[in-house]
Amino acid sequence: MRLRRPSLLSPRDRDALLKDALAELPAPARRLFLKRGLTLGGLSLLTGCSVVDEDSAERLLVHVSRFNDRVQAWLFDPNRLAPTYPESMMTRPFPFNAFYGRDEVPEVDGDDYRLEVGGLVTDKHAWSLPELYALPQADQVTRHICVEGWSAIGKWGGVPFATFLKRIGADLSAKYVGFECADDYYTSIDMATALHPQTLLTFTYDGKTLPPEYGYPMKLRMPTKLGYKNPKHIVALTVTNTYPGGYWEDQGYNWFGGS
C-alpha cells in the first residue's frame, strides 16, 4: 500500500477555496458568513470535512454545494410546514426570554390598546383587542427555537396573519412586514412568511389570554422562524418595500432567521 502525501494548501489556495465556497452558499447564509467572517474552521464545522489538502478541499466544496441545495429547499419553500405536536408534548413551564429580565416585562393596558397599522394598506384604522378577537381564530402546537440554545413546545392561538393582512387590504406583493413592540423591540419578515399558513397573530397561550411575559397582548408566532423573529407585545405593524431591519438583526443576526 502506498501512502499518499497530502499536498498542503498554500494561503493562496485557502483564499481561493473560501471564495469558491462562498459563491456556493445561498444568499442568506452568504450574508451571515460575510458578516461573521468565513473561515475554513467554520466551513469545516458546517460540513464536517476538515481541509488539509487538495482532495479534502474538493470534498468540502461538494459538501457546501449539497448543503446549498438543502438550505435553499428548506428556507425558500413557501409551502414547507413546520412540525406540529400533541398537547401532551408541551414544555411546562414554557421559558421566558427577552433582551431584559422578567421584572421588566412591559405592562400593556388592554382597554386602551390599539394595534396601529400603516404603510401599503388600504384600511389604516387602529384595531382594539375585541375587534381582533372577533376575527377567525386558529391554534397550533409548535416548537419555538431560540438561537441561545433552547427550544420549547407551546400552544398559541390567534388569527392567521394572511387573513389579517387581507382584511386590512395589504399590498401582498410588498417585500416586508415590519413590527414595533411595546418594549422597543422591533423586527421584520418577508411577505412569503407573513402569508405562510402557520403564521398566526396570537392572543392566547395554552388556551388562555397571552400572559404578559409571553407577549401580551399579542405575539406573532411563526414556527418556520427562529425565536427572535417572533415579536411579542406588538403595537404597530407596517407593510413596506423599505427594509425595516430588527433589534437583533441590526446587531448581526441573520435577517431571514429560518428555523
Q: Under the criterion CB under 6 A, does residue 257 sit at the interface with ligand MTE?
A: no
- In angstroms, what CA-CA distances link 193 with 42, 159, 168, 200? 28, 15, 17, 10
Q: Where are the beta strands (DSSP E) in 51-146?
A: 116-119, 138-146
Interface pick for ligand MTE out of 33, 67, 185, 255 (rule CB under 6 A): 185
Listed in sequence order, the DSSP H helices in the chain are 11-24, 27-36, 40-47, 54-76, 129-133, 161-167, 191-194
Q: Match 407596517 to its residue by C-alpha cell.
A: 238
Nearer to ligand MTE, 63 or 196 (CB): 196
Q: Under the criterion CB under 6 A, does residue 214 sit at the interface with ligand MTE?
A: yes
Count the residues of the shown chain that bind Mo ion, applying the rule CB under 5 A.
Answer: 3
CA dihedral angle for residue 49, residue 60, residue 75, residue 176, rounded to 10 degrees = 110
DSSP 179-211: EEETTS-EEEEEHHHHT-TT-EEEEEETTEE--
Q: Under the criterion CB under 5 A, does residue 146 sit at the interface with Mo ion?
A: yes
Residue 212: partners with Cβ closer than 8 Å, 6 or more residues away: 105, 106, 107, 108
Nearer to ligand MTE, 95 or 169 (CB): 95
Nearer to ligand MTE, 18 or 98 (CB): 98
Task: Locate 200 and state its grid cell.
Answer: 398566526
Interface pick for Mo ion out of 227, 231, 244, 246 (rule CB under 5 A): 227
- Indicate which of ligand MTE, Mo ion, none lies near residue 233 (CB less than 5 to 8 Å, by partner kind): ligand MTE
Residue 231: partners with Cβ closer than 8 Å, 6 or more residues away: 179, 181, 185, 186, 187, 215, 219, 220
- Considering only residues 55 to 114 of the shown chain, the ones binding Mo ion according to CB under 5 A are none
Nearest-approach distance from CB 147 to ligand MTE, in angstroms: 7
- Considering only residues 34 to 93 of the shown chain, the ones binding ligand MTE according to CB under 6 A are none
Nearest-approach distance from CB 251 to ligand MTE, in angstroms: 12
- Indicate which of ligand MTE, Mo ion, none lies near residue 96 (CB less than 5 to 8 Å, by partner kind): ligand MTE
Write out the residues near ligand MTE by the rule CB under 6 A.
Answer: 95-99, 146, 181, 183, 185, 213-215, 227-228, 230-233
* Residues at the site binding Mo ion, with contacts judged by CB under 5 A: 146, 227-228
